Amino acid sequence: MKKTILFQGDSITDASRDGENPFNMGHGYATLVASALGADYPARYDCINRGVSGNRVVDMYARIKKDCINLKPDYASIYIGVNDAWHEIWERNGVDTEKFERVYRMFIDEVQAACPGIKLMLIAPYVLEGWATCATEEQPDRLERFITDVADKAEAVKRVAKEYDLPLIELQPIFDAACKLAPAAHWSADGVHPTAAGHELIKRAWLDTFATLR
């Protein structure tokens, strides 16, 4: 019997998927993972992408029933956090870290209660220097704010993963190491959204972690 894998998160997971087509996976790491699993384990997994561009943790929580619980996944990865910082820095509509962590825990609690036996993995956000995150005349401290706030969100995800004994993918060290091999723009188009090479980094880390769940 096929197992269902759900990818949940924001635009990095969404990756320009067609929201009108429930089977469309987008053009990012979720598709790369589905391709690899489909080739290596034919007919073993169904992959579903429900990432939504622009989502903060509160937005993801608001659609928990439709886009997670009702799908009854056997596995799910959750990748959220950078918009909670971005929306504050750009629009003063972000989510502070205390609330981010509280809502994140609510999400985990409700999913685990509604889907007994589900296997979860958490992905902590990263940020690099790019046009969306670099300093401007109006915001000379923009990059520092991004680095600090995204690191705070990543630490919150790390705490949740430890408390719930869930596998964690920490992307910041992966991207920092990659930036020693090529400039940040090679891995991220704007400091937040991965390029094709950046999505490949996430896919590799995802598959390594998923191997520990099977």
CB 170 within 8 A of CB 81: no
Q: Give the pLDDT confidence of 127-155 residue by residue, as tens digits.
A: 999 999 999 999 999 999 999 999 999 99
Beta bridge partners of 122: 78, 168
**Per-residue pLDDT, 1:** 87
Q: DSSP of 77-141, one letter per residue? A: EEE--HHHHHHHHHHS----HHHHHHHHHHHHHHHHHHSTT-EEEEEE-----STTTS--SS-TT
Structural domains in the chain?
Answer: 3-210 (3.40.50.1110)
Share of the chain above pLDDT 90, in %: 99
Q: For 40, which DSSP code?
A: H
If you average pLDDT over residues 189-202, what whole number do you get?
Answer: 98
Share of the chain above pLDDT 70, in %: 100
Residue 20 burial by CB count (10 A; 0-12/13-18/19+): exposed, middle or buried?
Answer: exposed
What are 114's two structure tokens?
């509604």
Supply the Cα-derived Rg of the chain in whole angstroms. 16
Q: Give the pLDDT confidence of 17-28 residue by residue, as tens digits.
A: 999 999 999 999
Quick check: 214 pLDDT over 90? no
**Per-residue pLDDT, 101:** 98
Q: Give the pLDDT confidence of 64-95 residue by residue, as tens digits.
A: 999 999 999 999 999 999 999 999 999 999 99
Q: Give the pLDDT confidence of 8-47 residue by residue, as tens digits.
A: 999 999 999 999 999 999 999 999 999 999 999 999 999 9
What is the amino acid identity at position 100?
Answer: F
Average pLDDT for the chain: 97
CB neighbours (10 Å) of residue 24?
A: 14
Quick check: 200 pLDDT over 80? yes
CB 97 within 8 A of CB 30: no
